Amino acid sequence: PKRTQESVEKSKQTSSPVAGSSSPGPGTEKHGAEMPSEKKLCFKAAKEHDIPEDLAKVLENKVVERRWDLYYINMSVVEMTCLDDANGEGIVSKSVSSRSDLIPGVYEGGLKIWECTFDLIDYFSEAEIQFTNKTVLDLGCGAGLLGIVALKGKAGKVHFQDYNSTVIDEITLPNAVANCIGDSSGTGSGGGGKTHKPPSKRPKKAECSPDALTKCRFFSGEWSEVSRLLFSSNKPFSKYDIILTSETIYNPDYYTALHDTLAQLLDKNGRVYLASKAHYFGVGGGIYLFEKFVEERNIFRTSIVKTIDKGLQRCIMEMAFKDSS
């Protein structure tokens, strides 16, 4: 059928996060034909990723770009050598720009920055969310910009989780390093990155030094497995004051794992800030479906604290335990 420009635009905006796209930045999703409606969750084992001692090596062969006061690796030039999974399946060698044949349950969309990440960053400054000394988790982090903003906001601890270990090694960790090294040098971490002037409403640049990396931990794996790892690890673990999560509720098959992970990991008086599109066509998830799911579980109270009505509706939801202060 003939598609109007409007329907083409709409399908771009509503595509599933797992459909894949090469371009980081908001509003750049491409429509993927391979909507994972039959997708079932793989229980990918959890792993903690150590921060290499040689930080410069982490940024080797990476192109670092800058948007406002945030540094990030140009993902379109990251050549993926391996989208690993726990069973050793799905070893693929693909450039990020041609990943239309991604295997459902193997890659979960962490190789680009999804637009709700920027909605949530905007919301932090509008609502004056305080990260100082807080223990923060960026859940389903991809590039990890939410956690990096928390780190710049003087969070006490920031943990990053992504489904794919390759995303953590090749994108999240380098981004955290770039923001720590980049800030301390004041010149960026090299690589011929672009700079964009910050709009006045953006949060002011906060200091972040390489020492800030000692506050960070990086995990890959499926949510319930990561939760299990945190509780069973020898390292001390305290529950999170703030859990940040963007574009992670596209697939209703994952709602139980996500909900239970939030319930296990959030401090009794903690807050979850969740950014999502109203609906993800093709996969079926969305903010209202998740809201209903959470309501039925009767553990959290939810409140939609911001709605963005440009194109497809997007929302920010705050969650807290029903019996919290």
HSE-CB of 147 using CA atoms within 13 angstroms: 35
174 sits near ligand SAM (criterion: CB under 6 A):
no
Q: Smallest distance from the beta carbon of 13 to ligand SAM, in angstroms?
A: 14
Spell out the residues 6+ positions from residue 324 whose beta carbon is closer than 8 angstroms to its own: 268, 269, 270
110 sits near ligand SAM (criterion: CB under 6 A):
yes
Candidate segments 53-61, 137-145, 186-194, 312-320, binder of ligand SAM by CB under 6 A: 137-145
140 sits near ligand SAM (criterion: CB under 6 A):
yes
HSE-CB of 102 using CA atoms within 13 angstroms: 32
Nearer to ligand SAM, 28 or 324 (CB): 28
Nearer to ligand SAM, 110 or 191 (CB): 110
Between 24 and 63, how does the x/- string for binding to ligand SAM read (CB under 6 A)?
Answer: -----------------x----------------------
Q: Which of 73, 78, 113, 171 lies at the binding interface for ligand SAM (CB under 6 A)?
A: 113
Q: Smallest distance from the beta carbon of 325 to ligand SAM, in angstroms?
A: 28
Q: Which of 71, 131, 160, 163 lies at the binding interface for ligand SAM (CB under 6 A)?
A: 163
280 sits near ligand SAM (criterion: CB under 6 A):
no
Candidate segments 68-76, 199-207, 244-252, 265-273, binder of ligand SAM by CB under 6 A: 244-252
Number of neighbouring beta carbons within 10 Å of residue 210: 13
123 sits near ligand SAM (criterion: CB under 6 A):
no
Q: Where are the strands (E) in the chain, listed by range?
A: 47-49, 64-67, 70-73, 79-80, 94-95, 135-139, 157-162, 216-220, 240-246, 266-277, 300-308, 314-321
HSE-CB of 28 using CA atoms within 13 angstroms: 16
Q: Which of 123, 160, 223, 240 lies at the binding interface for ligand SAM (CB under 6 A)?
A: 223
Q: Which helix (H) or strand (E) holds 119?
A: helix 115-126
Q: Which of 218, 254, 273, 280 lies at the binding interface for ligand SAM (CB under 6 A)?
A: 254
Number of neighbouring beta carbons within 10 Å of residue 120: 23
Task: Return the sign of the alpha-carbon dihedral for residues 175, 229, 294, 105.
Answer: positive
Nearer to ligand SAM, 142 or 193 (CB): 142
Ranges of H-type helices in 165-276: 165-167, 173-185, 223-232, 255-265
Nearer to ligand SAM, 184 or 256 (CB): 256
Residue 180 tokens read as 């720590």
- CA 114 vs. chain centroid, Å, equals 8
Q: Which of 116, 177, 265, 317 lies at the binding interface for ligand SAM (CB under 6 A)?
A: 116
Q: Which residues pair with 137 in a beta bridge?
A: 159, 243
How does 5-24 read in b/e, with b if 16+ C-beta sit within 10 Å? eeeeebbbbbbbbbbbbbbb
Candidate segments 3-11, 157-165, 195-203, 285-293, binder of ligand SAM by CB under 6 A: 157-165
114 sits near ligand SAM (criterion: CB under 6 A):
yes
CA angle 129, 18, 300 (to 5 degrees): 40
> Which residues of the shown chain bind ligand SAM in the complex (CB under 6 A)?
17, 41, 108-110, 113-114, 116-117, 140-143, 162-164, 222-223, 246-248, 254, 257
